[in-house]
Amino acid sequence: MVLALLLCGAVVLLVGGGGGLFAFGVGRRLIQRTGGTFDCNLRWAVSEQEAAEPTGTGWAYGVARYNGDRIEWFRVFSYAPRPKRFLVRGGIEVLERRLPQGEEELALLSDAVILACALHGVRVELAMSEDALTGFLAWLEAAPPGQRVNVA
């Protein structure tokens, strides 16, 4: 009887309180299972004013995964099994590369480098480690012949 109550309590705790964190961990492992992933913060549809004077708001923590000619971006703190955003290689234009400024240093990972891009006319900022940035730029430059790729 005591064992049954302990098991029920553990299940309730797992599903109720700690279950959310467990589910996030399982989701991240499933995304990373196929390989070709990297930690990547994303800020979508950045205004010109925000680009000129970064405030540190609007960043979402995620994991990006290479999949052919596109990058699939998943929010880390989401139960959705599908990517939140897709970045198609042929539509990415690199605008600038910079280090976090002001409050961005607190909002992003410690070794982050920010890459500002235009994706079909929408300004997007990606924050990733220097190693991930090198891989991302190499992936952009490795486009098949005939694809227009603009890497600054």
Q: Phi/psi at 20 (nearest 5 deg)?
A: -65, -45
Residues 102, 105: Cα–Cα separation, whole Å: 6
Q: What is the pLDDT of residue 86?
A: 92
pLDDT tens for each residue of 48-89: 888 888 887 889 999 999 998 999 999 987 676 688 899 999
Q: Using the predicted structure, report yes or no on whether residue 25 has a pLDDT greater than 80.
A: no
pLDDT tens for each residue of 95-131: 999 999 888 888 898 889 999 999 988 999 999 999 9
pTM of the model: 0.72
